Amino acid sequence: MAEELSVITDASKEEQYAALLPQIEALVTGEPDLTANLANMASALKYGMNFFWVGFYLVKKDELVLGPFQGPIACTRIQRGKGVCGTAWENAETIIVDNVDEFPGHIACSSDSKSEIVLPAFKNGEVALILDVDSDQLADFDEVDKKYLSRLMKVVEQML
């Protein structure tokens, strides 16, 4: 396992992801513990891509419960269908929000969060957990983020 992330800053977002993802894959390869791997993934994404907040919410019974994350403290539990995360869970789909103030029912864990992307990971056809990435910039997420973060969720799904 690499001891340090090699982070590229003077490059396009696509190049940054392309450099980071193999490192994340290497970081979790051979480690069976889900919590440890989600924790390292959250850190690698936060510091590798300079995001404001990166974290996982795990489906536990009828709600999402906060899992490993990096960034300011966040709300602990989210009901199905509530906020961006609960909606992504209910609809079993990725959601990109350009302006969180315009998303009905958005749950504001930090007033500094301006846009976000939320992706589900599946186990046996059901959403098992959610990745939530927040930015302090408006409209910071697009199809490039969706492409690479979806690839990351496939890595997560192999651990579930």
User: By C-beta, is 12 or 91 nearer to ligand SME?
Assistant: 91
Smallest distance, ligand SME to C-beta of residue 132, A? 5
Distance CA(111)–CA(158), nearest Å, equals 34
Q: How many helices (DSSP H) and strands (DSSP E) are in the chain?
A: 4, 6
Runs of H (alpha helix) within 29-138: 34-49, 83-91
- Binding residues for ligand SME, per CB under 6 A? 53, 55, 74-75, 78, 83-86, 106-107, 109, 113, 116, 132, 134
Least distance to ligand SME, CB of residue 106, Å: 5
* Choice between 132 and 145, CB closer to ligand SME: 132
**Separation of alpha carbons 25 and 41, rounded Å:** 9
For ligand SME, the closer of residues 36 and 107 by Cβ is: 107
